[in-house]
Amino acid sequence: MSDSDWLVLLPQEAKEVIEKSDGWGRLTCRISGPDRAALVVALSNEDSDRVPVATDPGHFLMTAGFQPVGHWYAVPEELVLTEYFLVRQSATLSFDEFHRLVPKAECPVSGKWAIAVTYCAQPPAISEDETLPAWSAWIVTDSSVQPMLLDIRDGNELMDALEGLWPTRALASKRVLLFGAGSIGGATAESLASYGAGQIDIVDPDRLLFHNIPRHVLTTKHVGRTKVNALTQTLGSAWPECHVTPWPIDLVANADLVRPLLDESDIIVCTVDGVEPRRVANYLARRAGKPIVFACVLGDGRYGEILRIRALPEVGCLECQRRRLREEGRIDLETTLDRGYGTGTRHNPMTAVGGDLHLIGQLTAKITVATLLRAQGELDQTLVDDNLVIALRPTPGYTDPFDATRMLDQKWYRAGRPYDDCPACNAT
Ligand SMILES: [Zn+2]
């Protein structure tokens, strides 16, 4: 182990302990040789007992062996400068040179190695706008000391690091209610979190099964769990600022439980297969006076459709949009949703591929986020129009709006007015 491409991972809690001290301590790592990586899992403050630090139990190094092979040291700025030049020259220090700068450094016995993590409270600036990094890591033997890679979990990976570049604050206060945690819904949920939505409630009673895996954002390690619980865990680890609440219930059967969630939401997204749940979602959203975005793949995966129904008196609901299509002699592919699509049964095999479903899920999140931001006055988030049909595998023979002939052709059209006799629209 003398190569400089080894990596040390330092959890936030360990970082905080080291920053508060100006001394030294011991490190315990889990280390994987094949992966050339070490994760700090416990540390001492000088001669104290080693205290475990919080780590992600699912991290791949948590199954690797323990090795009490490291130290951390508070160091002077001269060591930081030395590292700067060493890295540029691909050079190493002798242990004696390292020891001169870090008097507490412990020399490994011959043939052994150790990891050193060093922290300089006031790292030197080498120009007006470049200060050298406070943190470094080193591979130490009795003959040589050389820099190695270090990555620290320190909060900079959080969403609010984008503040000023993206309206993170506006989205952090928004709550999205998502119906459906299938292939489209799972991708929508991930994407909503990655845009910075502050709260997501996900409603879906289904468990993740083996046949879902090729099309779902979730992986085999979650097979058997409810999709909402698995998504809550995966989103929580990637986007800790996003508060996800799982609701493993059926939208149609539990409308009474779902209704209060609508009142607390800023927008609803419906990715559930089947005409009946879409009708229920449509009705509930209208009653609650909330905007709703419907997403699905129609015609055996040939077209993606995303319908945004704003909560405005001049905009008709989903039922009104469907009825207008039929009355205008255009086609209504929604009936293909009731052919058992998505259930993967033998007589109705799933025909849309995972990538297409994820694409529609991500576009759905984009449209949802744009709708929220536009309402907050973000003019660059003004959408082309309310309704989108996008061609995934266009087929001749369909009529408007499903008549695109080129893949990824997009047809945007206006959501029409409500019908006077629409029960959903006139209940508001
Ligand atoms: Zn209506």
- Confidence band for 426, pLDDT divided at 50, 70 and 90: confident
Give 285 Cα–ligand 1 centroid separation in angstroms.
11
Identify the helix (H) or strand (E) that includes residue 357: helix 354-375
CA of 279 from ligand 1 middle (Å) equals 10
- How many angstroms is it from 288 CA to the middle of ligand 1? 14
Residue 48 has pLDDT above 50, yes or no: yes
Contact in structure between 426 and 420 (CB atoms under 8 Å) = yes
Question: What CATH code would you report for 160-413?
Answer: 3.40.50.720
Distance 424 CA to ligand 1 centre (A): 5
pLDDT of residue 334: 73
- 103-121 in b/e burial notation, b at 16+ Cβ within 10 A? eebebbeeeebbbbbbbbe
Tens digits of residue pLDDT in 383-397:
999 999 999 999 888
Give the model confidence (pLDDT) of 59-113 as tens digits: 999 999 887 789 999 999 999 999 999 989 888 999 999 999 999 999 999 999 9
CA of 325 to the centre of ligand 1 (A): 13
- Kindly report the number of other CB atoms within 10 A of residue 85's CB atom: 9
CA of 354 to the centre of ligand 1 (A): 32
| Cα 323 to middle of ligand 1, angstroms | 9
How many whole angstroms separate alpha carbon 295 and alpha carbon 106? 61
What pLDDT is recorded for position 162?
Answer: 85
pLDDT at 142 exceeding the cut of 70: yes
Q: Does residue 163 sit in helix, strand or coil?
A: strand
| Helices 354-375/183-195 angle, 10° precision | 40
* 167-208 residue pLDDT tens: 999 999 999 999 999 999 999 999 999 999 999 999 999 999
Ligand 1 centre distance from Cα of residue 137 (Å) = 63
Instruction: Supply the pTM of this predicted model.
Output: 0.87
Instruction: Note the pLDDT of residue 345.
Output: 43
Residue 355 tokens, joined:
């990538």
Give the Å distance between the CA of 228 and the centre of ligand 1. 30
C-alpha 276 – ligand 1 centre gap (Å) = 15
If you measure from the C-alpha of residue 286 to the centroid of ligand 1, how many angstroms do you get, rounded to a whole number? 8
SS3 at position 351: coil
Residue type, 128: E
- Kindly give the distance from the C-alpha atom of residue 420 to the centroid of ligand 1, in angstroms, as a whole number: 8
Ligand 1 centre to CA of 419 (Å) is 6
Q: What is the pLDDT of residue 341?
A: 46
DSSP state, 207?
B
Residue 150 has pLDDT above 80, yes or no: yes
| HSE toward the beta carbon, residue 312, CA cutoff 13 A | 11
Domain map of the chain by residue range? 7-152, 160-413
Tokens 């006799």 belong to residue: 421
Round to whole Å and give the CA distance between 319 and 425: 9
pLDDT of residue 3: 63
Å from CA of 320 to ligand 1 middle: 4
User: Is the pLDDT score of 317 beyond 50?
Assistant: yes
CA atoms of 318 and 332, how far apart (whole Å): 12
Residues with CB in 5 Å of ion ligand 1: 316-317, 319-320, 418, 422, 424-425
Task: Please state which of the ranges 24-28, 84-88, 197-201, 242-246 shows the lowest mean pLDDT.
Answer: 84-88
- When pLDDT is cut at 50, 70 and 90, the band that residue 338 belongs to is low
Which pLDDT score is estimated for 343? Answer: 47
Q: d(Cα 428, Cα 423) in Å, to the nearest integer?
A: 9
Within 299-409, strands assigned E span: 303-309, 387-391
Distance 293 CA to ligand 1 centre (A): 14
Helix (H, G, I), strand (E, B) or coil at 137: strand
Distance (Å) from CA 203 to ligand 1 centroid? 23
Percent of the chain at pLDDT exceeding 70: 95
At residue 312, the pLDDT reads 94
Q: How far is the CA of 319 from the centre of ligand 1 (A)?
A: 5
Compute the distance from residue 372 Cα to the ligand 1 centre, in Å. 22
In this prediction, residue 348 carries a pLDDT of 46
User: What number does CATH give the domain 7-152?
Assistant: 3.40.140
Could you tell me how many helices (H) and strands (E) the chain has, helices first? Answer: 10, 19
Q: How far is CA 272 from CA 206, 338, 357, 373, in A?
A: 11, 11, 12, 24
With helix as H, strand as E and coil as C, how does 53-96 read?
A: CCCCCCCHHHHCEEEEEEEEEECCHHHHHHHHHHHHHCCCEEHH
pLDDT band at 156 (very low <50, low <70, confident <90, very high): confident
CA of 282 to the centre of ligand 1 (A): 9
Query: 212: helix, coil or strand?
Result: helix
The set of residues, in sequence order, having a beta carbon less than 8 Å from that of 228 and lying 6+ positions away, is 181, 202, 203, 204, 246, 247, 248
Amino acid code (one letter) for 255: A
